[in-house]
Amino acid sequence: MRPFTLERASDISSAIEAFKAHQQSQFIGGGTNLVDLMRANVVQAEHVVDIVGLPWHEISEREDGGVRIGSLVSNADVAWNPLIEARYPLLAKAILAGASPQLRNMATTGGNLLQRTRCYYFYDTATSCNKRNPGSGCAAKAGVNRIHAILGASESCIAVHPSDMCVALAALEAEVRVVSDAGERLIPFADFHRLPGDSPEIDNNLQAGELITAVELPKQGFAQHFSYIKIRDRQSYAFALVSVAVGLHIEGGVIQKARIALGGVAHKPWRRPEAEALLENRSIQSIDARAVADLILEGAQGLSFNEFKIPLARRAIGRALEEALGQEALS
């Protein structure tokens, strides 16, 4: 780890100012990923701005029926919050499927969105990696690519986003509230993370010096019909090979709204709105889960070690849909 200076920000403007005053700055919240990256010299920071003192530690109900989660609320406090458990159980379940209790106690909501890929080569500075060192190549393409992408990858990078929480937030169609010295803006969750394209070093659409202040959840939480299925090598403390978040709103046996997001398959939580449309305005007895899965996975491409993810994802989508439909589909 290289030497760096640390500054504790006491308010938003001083945090942004401190960040901008140095060439290589990083904000730090829980630090559960950043500290590892700095130790391994994957990220080199000259100045670290600690934002834990900023006022984003609350979960509150909004006037429009939605819920605001402050960006510094820990993952554990989100998952065990009574409001989240009651209205957004999909989010609680996804969070509890990730990491370990210790990590969930430290990791923040904003930090979860910003965590970097767990591609082995990204963390190994002796190998080529376009995300860590743009233009150097991608060791994963001809290497061990078992955990890598089957959708949305590019010639430059085949990494996947590692979060469970973000898969649920994609299905819930959350928004990300950010602030900078130019003011505030809201980013729809689908536009927050990006595909690698020719610039895999950029994970998301945050601008330099922008801070996440909150994640905004819409009123619709799919509390009655939801599922989060995570398939991984170990039962705990392992990233998803494939995960599926499903939220359904059903009235009178008809699906009014359907949202499906996949994790572990792409550089961002993967959604295919056309596949969700196949489920909407249909009676629960008449849905064709295979057609839905085929459409979500259209264009999926396996690599030497991860071909298995395609049939695995297909079956996981079917199972997640069954689980979300629950007893209602069987009655």
Buried b (16+ CB within 10 A) or exposed e, 283-301: ebeebebeebbebbbeebe
Site for ligand SF4 in 194-223 (CB under 6 A): 200
Q: With CB under 6 A as the contact rule, which of the stretches 1-9, 130-138, 289-297, 322-330 interacts with ligand SF4?
A: 130-138
Q: Residue 138, interface with ligand SF4 (CB under 6 A)?
A: yes
- For strands 25-28 and 47-50, give the pairing: parallel
Question: Based on the number of CB atoms within 10 Å of its own CB, is 179 exposed (0-12), middle (13-18) or buried (19 or more)?
Answer: buried
Is 129 a binding residue for ligand SF4 by CB under 6 A? The answer is: yes
160 binds ligand SF4 (CB under 6 A): no
Angle at 240 between CA 125 and CA 231, to 5 degrees: 150
Give least dist CB 121 to ligand SF4, A. 3
What is each CA distance from 189 to 52, 154, 176, 204, in whole angstroms?
23, 21, 6, 10
The DSSP output letter for 13 is: H
Both tokens of 244, joined, read 């599926």
Contact between 159 and ligand SF4 per CB under 6 A: yes
Site for ligand SF4 in 93-122 (CB under 6 A): 117, 119, 121-122
Compute how many residues bind ligand SF4; rule: CB under 6 A.
Answer: 14
Q: How far is the CB of 98 from ligand SF4 (least distance, A)?
A: 20
Binding of residue 158 to ligand SF4 (CB under 6 A): yes
Nearer to ligand SF4, 19 or 122 (CB): 122
The residues facing 165 across adjacent strands are none
User: Closer to ligand SF4 at the Cβ: 75 or 130?
Assistant: 130
The answer to whether the beta carbons of residues 168 and 228 sit under 8 Å apart is: yes
Sheet holding 225-231, edge to edge: 225-231, 242-251, 254-263, 282-283
Nearest approach in angstroms of CB 191 to ligand SF4 is: 21
Q: Which is nearer to ligand SF4, 131 or 225 (CB)?
A: 131
Residue of the chain from 45, 92, 157, 303 that contacts ligand SF4 (CB under 6 A) = 157
Chosen residue from 68, 87, 104, 131 binding ligand SF4 by CB under 6 A: 131
Q: Which residues form the interface with ligand SF4 (CB under 6 A)?
A: 117, 119, 121-122, 129-131, 138-140, 157-159, 200
